[in-house]
Amino acid sequence: MNVVDGDTVKQAGKGRRAGGALLLVLGFIMLGSWIVLQFMGRVKSEMAVRGRGDEAVVARNLAFQALEITIGVLAEIRLLDDGLYNPAQGWGDPMVFAGSAARGEDDFATGEEPAAYGEQLDESAAILFPEGFEVEVRIRDESGLLPLNHTSEDRWKHFFELMEFSADDALVLTHSLLDWIDRDDRPRLHGAEAETYMLRSPPYRPANAPITDIQDLLLIQGFDRLFFDEVGVPNDRFRTFEDHVSVWSDGPVNMNTAPILVLQTLAEDLNFEVDRVVDFLTGPDGKRGTFVDRILRPGVVEADLPRDNSGNLLDFRAESRYLEVDVRVFYGTTTFRLMARLDSTESDPEDIYPMKIVYIQTWGGKS
Q: Nearer Cβ to Ca ion, position 182 or 326?
A: 182
CB of 180 to Ca ion, least distance (A): 6
Residues 6+ away with beta carbon under 8 Å from 208: 180, 181, 182, 183, 184, 185
Q: Nearer Cβ to Ca ion, position 184 or 236?
A: 184
Q: Nearer Cβ to Ca ion, position 216 or 348?
A: 216
CB of 184 to Ca ion, least distance (A): 5
Helix, strand or coil, per DSSP, at residue 28: helix
Listed ranges 26-34, 176-184, 255-263, 338-346: which one lies at the site for Ca ion (CB under 5 A): 176-184
Q: Nearer Cβ to Ca ion, position 182 or 308?
A: 182
CB of 196 to Ca ion, least distance (A): 11
Residues 6+ away with beta carbon under 8 Å from 39: 65, 68, 69
Taking the C-alpha atoms of residue 324 and residue 320, their distance in angstroms, rounded to an integer, is 10
Q: Nearer Cβ to Ca ion, position 197 or 228?
A: 197
CB of 207 to Ca ion, least distance (A): 8
Taking the C-alpha atoms of residue 64 and residue 188, their distance in angstroms, rounded to an integer, is 46
Q: Nearer Cβ to Ca ion, position 208 or 264?
A: 208
Binding Ca ion (rule: CB under 5 A), the pick from 46, 68, 182, 268 is 182
Q: What are phi and psi of 335, to 5 degrees?
A: -130, 135
Yes or no: say if 62 and 69 are a contact pair by the CB < 8 Å rule.
no
> Phi-psi region for residue 114, left (φ > 0), alpha (ψ -120 to 50) or beta?
beta
Question: Total residues contacting Ca ion (rule CB under 5 A)?
Answer: 3
Is 179 a binder of Ca ion (CB under 5 A)? yes
* DSSP bridge partners of 324: 140, 341
Is 55 a binder of Ca ion (CB under 5 A)? no
Residues 185-214 that bind Ca ion (CB under 5 A): 208
CB of 156 to Ca ion, least distance (A): 15
* 341-344-345-349 Cα dihedral, nearest 10 degrees: 60
> Phi-psi region for residue 105, left (φ > 0), alpha (ψ -120 to 50) or beta?
beta
Listed ranges 38-46, 110-118, 181-189, 239-247: which one lies at the site for Ca ion (CB under 5 A): 181-189
Residues near Ca ion (CB under 5 A) are: 179, 182, 208
